[in-house]
Amino acid sequence: MNILKKIKSPYNSFNKFWSYIISEMSYNFIWPVIQTYSSFWLVKYAGFSHANVGLAFSMMSLMGLISAPFFGYIGDKILEKKYLIQFIAVLSVLMGPFMEWFILPMKGNTYVMSILMGLVFGLVMNGGTGAIETYEQRISFVNGFEYSWVRSGVTITGFIAPIICGYLLSTVPKQFFWSLSITGFIFLIMVVFFVKHDESNLGVLHDEKHEKINIHGILKSMSSKAFIIFVIFLLGTVPLSQIADQQVSNYFQTFLNNNPGVMLFSYSTTIQQILAFIGMLIIPAVIKKIGYRNGLVIMAFIMTIRLLLLSFATNWVIVAFAQILGGLYTPLWFICPMGYIFSVFNKNEFATIQSLSTVSAVQISQTIFSGVIGAGYDKLGFHTTYLILGVICGCFALFAAIFLVKGKNDVSQMNQ
């Protein structure tokens, strides 16, 4: 205990730091469960067709698009109050009963069930993620901890969750989704009883120079040059990189002469996660030097280099290296957009601006271009398609370097 007392506050406090890491880990368990294993479970145990699985995922994205702006607006209204994340935590606890008692028995009506499942999970997962992230980002300024260190809990979950999920799916498959209720219960306990903030430092959340959040102010911010440039930059970089990730595993297999390279690819993905975890720990020091704006520009150039590496790849080693390279820009993507928003725009509209830019705009772009780029792989081939994506991403990276504005206290913001 004497050692803990010597550690600088808030890192010696369970309520004001460690509870946030546990919350992040327990909530984000939902992502590997849904993204990695749910399609298998739905087909084998719930009688879904592959088309119905696709419909469920489409509904998740749709609900994410619908709920994110509302969650953002509510978050800006209640600020440090926990009502919104408590609501998400309660829904997380109900995921197990919902899947086993409602979805599983309705095998004869999977079309309706896929829509309902997608809407429910989209509310908790796609919409809830943005609400929780903006809340934690806010409290990082209030409590004085490094937000990236809390977000590193996502990468820790990325190591642990696949092992747990694989074991549960092989031993108690029909009760598989009860794992979400268990982790959701941990999340709920943290949020209700342990997650706390420094009441004396709430002034950092308010922007006295601007009016409190209202529809007129939001529309004014959305029409501002800074917002338009920011959204254009995001649309030309992040979705292209994320869509490219969807098919990298298939591209990797083309270099192995039909010899499955699942383990080889998984090794590169694991190294990518380790690199991302290390990056989350050191990025505060990096941001102090370069600022959020320059972090976004560097992120875009790393994405460009990665896409161009994929386009000119001549063997699986280069593809694996490009996959690992994704671990370099992941910390920048987790941290810089929200820090940039907080430093450039009205603080009173922080969550709303974040939901309209890094959530809604990016998801809309993914919805539009995923099919187009997927068709490009078939008609043009991987090399040409990745080359086109790399060139486009590079152009938008240059655009960002020229036009992205530098926010107020951009470099020092993380230490407030």
Q: Domain ends where: 138, 170, 200? A: 200
Say whether both 172 and 259 belong to one domain.
no
Q: Looking at the structure, do residues 194 and 223 belong to the same domain, yes or no?
A: no
- Nearest CA to 39 among 58, 56, 55, 53? 53
Q: Which of the 8 DSSP states describes residue 202? A: G
Check whether residue 152 and residue 234 sit in a common domain: no
| H or E segment to which residue 192 belongs | none
Q: What is the phi/psi pair of residue 128, to 5°?
A: -65, -35
Q: Among 168, 200, 232, which residue terminates a domain?
A: 200
For residue 295 the two structure tokens come to: 């972090």
b vs e for 146-174, b when ≥16 Cβ sit within 10 Å of the residue's Cβ?
Answer: bbbbbbbbbbbbbeebbeebeebbeeeee
Which pLDDT value is given to residue 367? 72
Answer yes or no: is 206 within a domain: no
Tokens of 61: 């994205």
Q: Do 101 and 170 fall within a single domain?
A: yes
pLDDT at 416: 39
The pLDDT of residue 31: 87
Q: Decide if 391 is inside a domain.
A: yes
Within-domain flag for 138:
yes
Q: 259 and 131, same structural domain?
A: no
- The residue from 148, 171, 200 where one domain ends is 200
Q: Which amino acid is at 247?
A: Q
DSSP 116-184: HHHHHHIIIIIIHHHHHHHHHHHHHHHHT--HHHHHHHHHHHHHHHHHHHHHHHHHSGGGTTHHHHHHH
pLDDT of residue 166: 80
| Pair 329, 380 in one domain | yes
Domain residues for the domain of 106 are: 2-200
How many domains is the chain partitioned into structurally?
2
Amino acid letter, residue 286: V
In this prediction, residue 415 carries a pLDDT of 41
What's the whole-model pTM score?
Answer: 0.82
**165 and 223 assigned to the same domain:** no
Domain-located, residue 353: yes
Question: Residue 85: which CATH number?
Answer: 1.20.1250.20
Q: Is 155 in the same domain as 281?
A: no
pLDDT at 51: 80
Q: Which residue ranges in the chain fall short of pLDDT 70?
A: 1-7, 108-109, 208-211, 257-262, 408-416
What CA–CA distance (Å, rounded) separates 234 from 358? 7
Identify the pLDDT of residue 337.
Answer: 93
> Assign residue 47 a region: left if phi > 0, alpha if psi is -120 to 50, beta otherwise?
left
